[in-house]
Amino acid sequence: MVGWLFVAPALVMYGLFVLQPLVLTVQYSLYRWDGVGPATFVGLANYADVVSEPRLIETLFNAFRLVIFFSLIPVTLGLVTAAIIQRVARGWLGTVSRTVLFLPQVIPLVAAGIIWGRLLSLQGLVNELLTAIGLGGVTRAWLGDFDFALPAVGVIGIWVLLGFCTVLLLTGMAKVDPALYESARLDGAGWFAEFRSITVPSLRYEVGVCVTVTVIAALATFDIVYVSTGGGPGNATAVPGIQIYILAFLERQVGLASALAVVLIVLVLLVILPIQRLTRGDA
């Protein structure tokens, strides 16, 4: 009873602000409702619309495309960067490197979206640098281009999440027994062989955490996309979070928005649970 009393305040807050909205979302997804008038029970019709309407399916595909930028690239670069910092940048240089890389985590995502929106604009710093090095022919309004808008948003995601992955993986590398590296060097192993055979296998749990957090960030992203592109141009950067907002608050289709939200939750679980299973130490 004493233990339950200690956790009771947190459980109450969790129930009110997480579990109750989750249950209500599932309930609303079974109705056709504009958020004000009477609701009409339609069963699974909203879910049928989600999986059959091209506009909504496209948002799900866009979210999975962002996984490459928000997860695969930051985790891979984070591994390499962490290994270099651990091997080369020690003392104050390592501290400065970690601080600079982790700084984007401290900046609010809305502010990051605004900053990068200006950097990637037609008259922004990115285009000025490209022009300065003789690549003026490739300049464009990156966030307003149908082909490059989603990769441009992905670049923002890489910038935000790279520091998180690097610092977490550096922490994991600090726990690896140095004797393993010494034994490998005595056997003639080079830097890459150490990295492949000792560092990466020893970081299975940390890599799993990085992948879990970044995949969720990719599939559930809203802030960066809303501030930088608003889902445009057209539906080029429309993701489920943006589409849920549009459906619920602009088009007044609360039931359809709730169904899309439930589908998104299911997709996140289907992606994350296998990752968790594969990266657990006892798997």
Choose among 196, 233, 187, 194: nearest CA to 62.
Answer: 233
- Contacting residues for 12 by C-beta, under 8 A, at least 6 apart: none
Please classify residue 11 by burial: count the beta carbons closer than 10 Å to its beta carbon, then call 0-12 exposed, 13-18 middle and 19+ buried: exposed
pLDDT of residue 94: 77
Mean pLDDT of the chain: 91
Q: What is the CA radius of gyration of the chain?
A: 23
At 221, give phi and psi (nearest 5°).
-65, 145
pLDDT above 90 as % of the chain: 70
Quote the pLDDT of residue 283: 43
What is the pTM for the complete model shown? 0.89
Average confidence (pLDDT) over 270-282 = 82
| pLDDT given for residue 155 in this prediction | 95
Fold topology of 2-279:
MetI-like fold (1.10.3720)
Give yes or no for a contact between 255 and 31, defined as CB atoms under 8 angstroms apart.
yes
Q: What is the pLDDT of residues 99-116, one digit of tens each?
A: 888 889 888 889 999 999
